[in-house]
Structure 1
Amino acid sequence: MKIMGRRIFTAELLPGMPDTIGRKPAKAEHAPPARTLDEAITRSHDIIAEALDRYPIVARHALLSGGNDSTLMLHLVQPYLDSSEHDAVVHVNTGIGVEETRQHVRDVTRAWNLPLRELHPRDSYDDLVLGQVIARSGKNAGIRPVWKGFPGPAGHGVMYRRLKDEPLQRNRAQVIGTQGRTRKVLYLAGMRWGESQRRMRNAAEIDQEGGIVWCSPLVHWTNAQMAEYRRTRLLPQNEVSAHLHMSGECLCGAFAKPGELDEIEFFYPRTAYRIRSLEQRVKAAGIPACKWGQKPVGQCAPKPGSIAGRLCSSCPAPLQGQTDLMDIWAQQGLLTQPLPQGRAA
């Protein structure tokens, strides 16, 4: 397949051929062995069983971003979502994403007859960038906003904690309250070591965090295994992932690439209009950081490995000089079809 002067070579493993992660992830006790797809599936169920045996789990929540990886994960873990009145699929509606992804989540859960909890952050993205969210604790409580302007890389932690982590923590509290020692919520997530260098460093099969037990049953899966599973199970695909090569459920812009908003506008003009309208409001408020996806002048980049946000698979820290979207997508194995005729990245 030739795209914009580059030839992308893809090689698929035949069904049943062994496949594995190329090196040992930092949080893995041993390097993942070569596995067939069936063996990878078996290992996934073993990981979930280990989490259920190790902790007093009272609710199982499958986190569905709307991306194709999380859809595959949900398909695999459906049998675990019927043993408690609290079991459900959970989607965090950050308020700054592509509406078509949210609808995809609703359509999939409805088609599979699964209960859906659609969570919303207490503080909106608009209020955060407009500087209208005042600190509630610490030395700046009641005095200063927690953030002002569109985030660059240094603002990603704030956006993640406010837009994703806060709703998930509130959801956990609704189920178990303060009984985190004796009751746990299992969050099943689609994180994989093969996704990015950050996931290779930080993702674990099972990771307890207070009253939450994070479980990543696909953590050892490779791109080839994911593709084979989708092909043989005929899973529904999110058109947003096909167009933008990300789920689009959160467009905070902290690690947006050059030209990304133009790409969004081409496929989803309503979403881009919403972002550009917010740019005008931020500019009118006299806030210097008034351009979505641009690092504010003078903002320092976060230290490698310090980026918060275990669920943000599309927010890796950019490499120096890495500005070409097509190169990034090719390296991640995401180029599955050419761009529309005459459309440049």
Structure 2
Amino acid sequence: MRKKLILESGEVFYGKAFGADQETTGEVVFNTGMTGYQELISDPSYCGQMVCMTYPLIGNYGINRDDYESIEPAIKGLIVKEICDLPSNFRSQMTLDELFKKKNLSGISGIDTRRLTRLLRNAGVVKGKIVSADADEQQVITELQGLELHKNQVAQVSTKTAYANPGRGFKVVLVDFGAKLGIIRELSQRNCDIIVVSHDTTAEEIMLMDPDGIMLSNGPGDPQDNPQALEMIRTLLGKVPIFGICLGHQLISLACGATTYKLKFGHRGGNHPVLDLKRNRVDITSQNHGYAVDQESLKNTDLEETHIALNDRTNEGVKHKIHPCFSVQYHPEASPGPEDTNYLFDDFIEMMGAWKGRS
């Protein structure tokens, strides 16, 4: 079935539909990963977004039972150059098209993703809509230009009730702003006793659980849309070690007095080089964020910069000068992407051990 992708800026891309036969609207972004489409589709941080894959062939190793990062996808749509209908992999259980039909998701293939990516790099992130080939283009453009995308996306993807992932090691409360299962996997491998709580859980409720550490997860949207989380973090600072990832990193920075801003086209992919200023080494990282911490604003806080992105020199990590608290903008749990930086979970374990030993 023929479809077309229409952008609010007026560009139109014709292609072929896959997945559910329905229209879908979202913020159009691009991802530079060559693999990892299953993890990407199930990453809650993509809530409200349609993702353009820069790699030309997607779906070639199918979909399997193990590589999901959430139970239900929050992505709005997928945009690819070519979709593979005959995947080849010993773990493959279904095609990408079959998954999209089962999950009621829409995608479009056969478009010039290189042209679309260059457009997004030049113009920045834009709103778009996948519609039928005969839809009125000017009407859709007008609709998109007047459309305000949903805010408070964290509430859409966060767990509604707390749940446990038991272990015999340190007790970690994972605050779910849209957490990927990769975070739970890394903590579980270190035998942590994990309690996952909703994004709006208060500091008092968390302290009643008597945690050895707090983990602030990744998540979608503007970090400034989460004022209750900032108050929670301020209250917990100095009471228990804290480790933040992606949105968690931005929230720690905001809670300590820094500011954030929206990047022109964000960082999304599994191949982003980051300089670790403390270790004086470069790591290749997995990233997925559209906002960044303003480096100048860090100078008036108790945070010191620990990591910077080598592609555009933006901030990628901070550490508190007084309290046991650190965070990174990228994803050390990878999924998908390189596992160069999963040692940060070991740093978190060591921090909790030192803090508990001191008390």
**What is the TM-score of this pair, normalised by structure 2?**
0.23
Structure with greater proportional helix content: 1
The structure showing larger relative contact order (alpha-carbon pairs under 8 Å, at least 6 residues apart) is 1
Structure with greater proportional strand content: 2
**What is the TM-score of this pair, normalised by structure 1?**
0.24
